[in-house]
């Protein structure tokens, strides 16, 4: 597949404002400000751009939900929480292309009518917060952001951009938790509806988009929607920042057209599996997404629809590869431990269910489980899925449910066979026991 | 004498406040500044933050106890964070975890008696492609193995 760079161009020092300017930087914003907001939304809609934060929802459509006639202030929140295990792509945007993100924010704010944007960055990214702040300071200084924009771009429109530093909580990546966190509360997800476009930050209309999503916007405005929609998979066009990790020779972030074959991604870009081993399992979209069997990867394409058809999801495109020697029970335990730790605790099924699943899996991993426990785990997972305020519940349930469905034999290797009690019939048993009653009761 | 922001930090807090329509929203950044100055978030720090932002102390407490990066006790000069989540685990994170624990002689969230090191097992840090990794205070160290980790620990004076 041909390499195309949209979000991470191979231009040395592109993160510096002068270099960005010399390569046509901030010209897309100028172009956008000279057409109507409806037209900008229309271009983004037609481009087919879908969110890169997990749900792959149409960005143009999301923008069109923002009320047009309102006296309330409107907000844009850019999601750089990036805490899903297996995903580490947005930090590359902060590092290599911060100005394209800033320019994307300007255009997005213009389109939805927001005067303030917040970039929410996870607290652990101290270094990338500093890099992003430096770029933002330079952009303010040059007049591309804030009130000076009016002069610089010759428009009435201007907006401010601020960075909000998180402090360690995966759940703050969930959009409504992110808003609570921004407002200074605990990161508790909110019940929807109302949706953020109706009642978001401080009760005002708000749009939340992922960092990578927004970083695509300037190029779509520059080159047109026809150009963007012709790249990669037709229904999920553009490039995707794939984060390859696990047992690979060349893990890392690779920007490639959507729809690339998973096998090509692993072999050609990831450099194949370490020590030439076979693949047992691949999680294609970050730890919440259903795992795929290594012997069934042939022909799977990396875009939202193809992956859905293959029984998984694109998520944040964090591809985790596990070789044939991997103990999947330990992997599942580690994933479940994560969701238990990160559950905010508001909903009983998620709070209690993740704890039970972790405890049970720990017992199994310690060698004290039987295949029946797998059925029990599946039923706990099914009782979490769909019964919670936010999608963290589903994110915790899916790995358990699908790992058991797809890797039952592999998991059973670590379990004891069924314990057969010396009782023939459980209901009217006492007459038929092999052993006298007294020995059982003792 | 209780905790007081330095003059310079008061200016930073005021700048943080100016980013948001409410002063409550500045609580996270204010706590970051406080932690930088004091090392951790004590009762006194919480009272002062509440006072400076003119918000209820319970709001400060609820935030401090929700987010894992606000320390509620004094940590070591070097806070060692070992990621053991899946991508790191696949590449030997638990060997690193054990080696660090052995070397420092402390458990999760403990501090060495000389106050030099503290240790924390952390969730995915967003460095999965460069696994395994540890973070020392704010700095990431990536593509590690046991030997490299021990070298890093030795280099911390
Ligand atoms: C538990 C949970 C964690 C999430 N974490 C992130 C995240 O770290 N970054 C992100 O962009 N989206 C995350 N999302 C998705 C957001 O809720 C939201 O859909 C997304 O930011 C929208 O942006 P997009 O339309 O550009 O994809 C998370 C969702 C859930 C349920
Ligand atoms: S599903 Fe879990 S994380 Fe989401 S609101 Fe409920 S308890 Fe919190
Ligand atoms: S799993 Fe360790 S950094 Fe992501």
Name the pairing type of β-strands A206-210 and A75-80: parallel
Q: Is B27 in the same domain as B96?
A: no
Ligand 3 residue neighbourhood (C-beta within 6 Å): A 85; B 83, 85-88, 124-128, 131, 133
**Domain spans of chain A, in order of start:** 17-230, 233-323, 328-412
Q: What is the ipTM of this complex?
A: 0.98
The answer to whether domain A17-230 has CATH 3.40.630.30 is no
Work out the end-to-end distance of chain B between its first and last CA atoms, rounded to an integer number of angstroms.
31
Q: Is B147 in the same domain as B92?
A: yes
Q: Is B82 in the same domain as B151?
A: yes
Query: Does any domain span residue B62?
Result: yes
Q: What is the pLDDT of residue A354?
A: 98
In which element (H, E) is residue A75 found? strand A75-80
Q: What is the pLDDT of residue A243?
A: 98
Q: Is B55 in the same domain as B94?
A: no
List the single best residue of B33, B64, B124 to mutate versus A (max A Cβ within 10 A): B124
Separation between Cα atoms, residue A93 and residue A212, nearest integer Å:
7
Query: Does any domain span residue B71?
Result: no
pLDDT tens for each residue of A276-291: 999 999 999 999 999 9
Task: Print the domain residue range for B19.
Answer: 7-66
Query: Does any domain span residue B126?
Result: yes
Ligand nearest the Cα of residue A170 is 1
**Whole-angstrom Cα Rg for chain A:** 25
Separation between Cα atoms, residue A134 and residue A144, nearest integer Å:
14
**Is the CB of residue A330 less than 8 Å away from at least one CB of chain B?**
yes
Q: Is B136 in the same domain as B88?
A: yes
Query: Does any domain span residue B19?
Result: yes
List all residues of chain A from 360 to 379 with a beta carbon under 8 Å from chain B: none
Q: What is the pLDDT of residue A442?
A: 45
Q: Is B50 in the same domain as B88?
A: no
Name the pairing type of β-strands A116-121 and B139-141: unpaired
Query: Does any domain span residue B2?
Result: no
User: CB–CB of A29/A107 below 8 Å?
Assistant: yes
Per the structure, the count of domains in chain B is 2
pLDDT tens for each residue of B31-63: 999 999 999 999 999 999 999 999 999 999 999
Q: Is B85 in the same domain as B150?
A: yes
- Nearest alpha carbon, ligand 1 atom 18: A175
Query: Does any domain span residue B73?
Result: no
* pLDDT, one tens digit for every residue, chain A (442 residues): 778 999 999 999 999 999 999 999 999 999 999 999 999 999 999 999 999 999 999 999 999 999 999 999 999 999 999 999 999 999 999 999 999 999 999 999 999 999 999 999 999 999 999 999 999 999 999 999 999 999 999 999 999 999 999 999 999 999 999 999 999 999 999 999 999 999 999 999 999 999 999 999 999 999 999 999 999 999 999 999 999 999 999 999 999 999 999 999 999 999 999 999 999 999 999 999 999 999 999 999 999 999 999 999 999 999 999 999 999 999 999 999 999 999 999 999 999 999 999 999 999 999 999 999 999 999 999 999 999 999 999 999 999 999 999 999 999 999 988 765 555 545 544 555 555 555 544 4
Q: CA of A122 to nearest chain B CA: how many angstroms apart? A: 9
Q: What is the pLDDT of residue A420?
A: 57
Q: Is the peptide bond before A193 cis (omega within 30 degrees of 0)?
A: yes
Q: Chain A partners of B60 at a C-beta cutoff of 8 Å?
A: none
Nearest chain A residue to B31 by CA: give it.
Answer: A167
Q: Output the domain CATH number for residue B121.
A: 3.40.30.10
E-strand ranges in chain B read 78-83, 117-122, 134-136, 139-141
- Nearest alpha carbon, ligand 1 atom 23: A209
* Helices and strands of chain A, counted as H and E runs: 18, 9
Report the candidate in A218, A210, A195 with the shortest Cα–Cα distance to residue A54.
A210
Q: Is B86 in the same domain as B137?
A: yes
Q: Is B54 in the same domain as B104?
A: no
Sign of torsion over alpha carbons A165, A170, A174, A179: negative
In CATH terms, A233-323 corresponds, of 3.10.20.600, 3.30.565.10, 1.10.10.10, 1.20.1270.10, to 3.10.20.600
pTM: 0.95
In which element (H, E) is residue A280 found? strand A279-283
Query: Does any domain span residue B29?
Result: yes
* pLDDT, one tens digit for every residue, chain B (157 residues): 589 999 999 999 999 999 999 999 999 999 999 999 999 999 999 999 999 999 999 999 999 999 999 999 999 999 999 999 999 999 999 999 999 999 999 999 999 999 999 999 999 999 999 999 999 999 999 999 999 999 999 999 9
Q: Do A127 and B138 touch (CB under 8 A)?
A: yes
Query: Does any domain span residue B52?
Result: yes
- From B15, B35, B66, give the residue that closes a domain: B66
Using N-to-C axis directions, what is the helix angle for A98-112 and A37-47, rounded to 10°?
120
Q: What is the pLDDT of residue A417?
A: 82
User: CB–CB of B117/B106 below 8 Å?
Assistant: yes
Output the CA B61–ligand 2 centroid distance in Å.
21
pLDDT tens for each residue of A161-212: 999 999 999 999 999 999 999 999 999 999 999 999 999 999 999 999 999 9
Separation between Cα atoms, residue A40 and residue A154, nearest integer Å:
18
Q: Chain A partners of B85 at a C-beta cutoff of 8 Å?
A: 85, 287, 334, 338
List the single best residue of B32, B129, B143 to mutate versus A (max A Cβ within 10 A): B129
Architecture label for domain A328-412: Up-down Bundle (1.20)
Separation between Cα atoms, residue A245 and residue A265, nearest integer Å:
12
Q: Is B132 in the same domain as B112?
A: yes
User: CB–CB of A148/A105 below 8 Å?
Assistant: no
Q: Is B151 in the same domain as B82?
A: yes
Kindly report the CA angle at B69 between B66 and B70, in degrees rounded to 5?
Answer: 70
């Amino acid at each position: 597949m041909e390499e195309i760079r949209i979000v991470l161009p191979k231009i040395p020092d592109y993160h510096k404002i002068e270099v960005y300017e010399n390569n046509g930087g901030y010209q897309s914003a100028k172009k956008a400000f000279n057409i109507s907001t409806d037209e900008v939304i229309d271009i983004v809609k037609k481009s087919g751009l879908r969110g890169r934060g997990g749900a792959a929802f149409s960005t143009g459509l999301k923008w069109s939900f923002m009320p047009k006639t309102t006296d309330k202030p409107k907000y844009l929140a850019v999601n750089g929480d990036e805490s899903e295990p297996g995903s580490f792509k947005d930090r590359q945007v902060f590092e290599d292309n911060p100005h394209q993100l800033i320019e994307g924010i300007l255009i997005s704010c213009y389109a939805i009518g927001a005067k303030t944007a917040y970039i929410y960055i996870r607290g652990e990214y101290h270094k990338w917060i500093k890099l992003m702040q430096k770029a933002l300071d330079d952009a303010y200084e040059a007049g591309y952001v804030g009130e000076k924009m009016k002069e610089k771009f010759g428009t009435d429109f201007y907006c401010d951009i601020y960075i909000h530093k998180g402090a360690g909580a995966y759940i703050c990546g969930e959009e409504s938790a992110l808003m609570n966190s921004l407002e200074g509360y605990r990161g508790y997800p909110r019940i929807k509806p109302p949706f953020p476009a109706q009642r978001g930050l401080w009760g005002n209309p708000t749009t939340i988009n992922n960092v990578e999503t927004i970083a695509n916007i300037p190029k779509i405005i520059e080159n047109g929607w026809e150009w963007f929609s012709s790249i990669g998979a037709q229904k999920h066009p553009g490039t995707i920042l794939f984060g390859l990790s696990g047992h690979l020779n060349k893990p890392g972030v690779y920007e490639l057209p959507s729809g690339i074959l998973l096998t090509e991604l692993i072999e050609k870009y990831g450099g194949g599996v370490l020590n030439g081993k076979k693949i047992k399992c691949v999680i294609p979209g970050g730890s919440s997404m259903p795992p795929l069997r290594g012997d069934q990867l042939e022909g799977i394409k990396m875009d939202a629809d193809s992956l859905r058809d293959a029984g998984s999801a694109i998520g944040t495109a964090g591809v985790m590869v596990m070789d044939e020697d991997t103990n999947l029970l330990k992997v599942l335990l580690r994933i479940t431990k994560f969701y238990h730790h990160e559950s905010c605790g508001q909903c009983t099924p998620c709070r209690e269910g993740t704890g039970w699943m972790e405890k049970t899996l720990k017992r199994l991993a310690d060698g004290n489980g039987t295949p029946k426990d797998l059925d029990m785990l599946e039923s706990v997972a099914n009782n979490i899925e769909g019964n919670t305020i936010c999608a963290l519940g589903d994110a915790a349930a899916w790995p358990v449910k699908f790992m058991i469905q797809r890797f039952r034999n592999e998991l059973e290797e670590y379990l004891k066979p069924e314990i057969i009690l010396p009782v023939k019939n459980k209901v009217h048993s006492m007459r038929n026991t092999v052993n006298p009653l007294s020995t059982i009761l003792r | 004498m209780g905790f007081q922001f330095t003059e310079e930090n008061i200016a930073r807090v005021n700048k943080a406040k100016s980013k948001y329509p409410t002063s409550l929203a500045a609580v996270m950044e204010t706590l970051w500044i406080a932690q930088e100055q004091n090392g951790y978030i004590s009762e006194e720090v919480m009272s002062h933050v509440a006072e400076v932002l003119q918000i209820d102390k319970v709001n400060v407490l609820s935030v401090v106890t929700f987010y894992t990066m606000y320390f509620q006790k004094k940590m070591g000069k070097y806070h060692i964070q070992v990621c053991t989540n899946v991508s790191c685990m696949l590449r030997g994170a638990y060997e690193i975890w054990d080696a660090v624990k052995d070397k420092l002689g402390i458990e999760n969230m403990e501090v060495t008696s000389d106050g030099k090191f503290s240790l924390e097992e952390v969730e995915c840090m967003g460095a999965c492609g460069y696994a395994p990794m540890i973070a020392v205070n704010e700095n990431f160290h990536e593509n590690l193995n046991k030997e490299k980790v021990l070298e890093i620990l030795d280099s911390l004076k």
